[in-house]
Amino acid sequence: MSTFVSVNTYTHSVTYVTDNILRSLKLIILLSGLSPEKLTSDWVTLEKGIKIWLQEQCLEEVYLEVFDPRNGKLIGRWDFAIRYGFAGDGQFRVDTDDIRYHIQKAGVWPSRCDYRIVVSNKPGRTDILGWSQTSLRSTDGLIKQSIGTTIDGSGLSTGTSYWRT
C-alpha cells in the first residue's frame, strides 16, 4: 500500500503574489506621500481581478500610474511584470526594503497628484465586474529604472521597475 499527498502550490503562489502586489502598491502610495483611500476602497475589486487573472495565467503586468489631475500628465509609474514558471528556490519572499530604497531615491510626489491601478492581460481573460478597458499614459520624458524581482511566490514572481523624471 502506498500513500500519495498532493498540494496545490500554484494556488498558494497566486494568493501570495496577489496579496504582496497589493501590499507593495499600498507601501508605494503611502511612502510616496499619496493617500491610500482610493486603493483601500477598491481593494476587493483589485484583489479579485489580480487573483483570477493570475490563476488563468493571463495577467501580464500591474501598473501604478501617478499623474497630475490638472492636465492628466504622468509624473511617475511603478510596474510589476508577471513571470510565470519562474525557476526560483521554492521559497516565498517579498523585498519591501528594495522598494523602500527606490521610493527614497525617487522622492515623494506632490500631494495634489492622483493615481490609478491599470493591468495588461492576454486575450481571453475573464471579465471582472469593476474593471474596464483603458490605455496607459505616455511615459515620454520619464526614465525607467528596473529593480529586479521583488515578489517571489515559488514559480510565480514579479519583475519590478519604476519610471521617474
- Residue 7 is predicted with a pLDDT of 54
pLDDT at 5: 45
pLDDT of amino acid 6: 44
pTM of the model: 0.92
Mean pLDDT for all residues in the chain: 92
* pLDDT reported for residue 101: 95
Radius of gyration of the chain (CA): 17
Structural domains of the chain sorted by starting position, each given as residue range(s) with its CATH number in brackets: 9-164 (3.30.900.10)
**Per-residue confidence (pLDDT) for residue 105, from 0 to 100:** 86
pLDDT value, residue 44: 98
Q: What are phi and psi of 153, to 5 degrees?
A: -110, 40
Contact 29, 65 (CB under 8 A): no
Buried b / exposed e along 5-36 (16+ C-beta atoms within 10 A): eeeeebeebbebbbbbbbebbebbbeebebee
Cα–Cα distance, 153 to 28 (Å, whole number): 20
Q: State which residues of the chain have pLDDT below 50.
A: 5-6
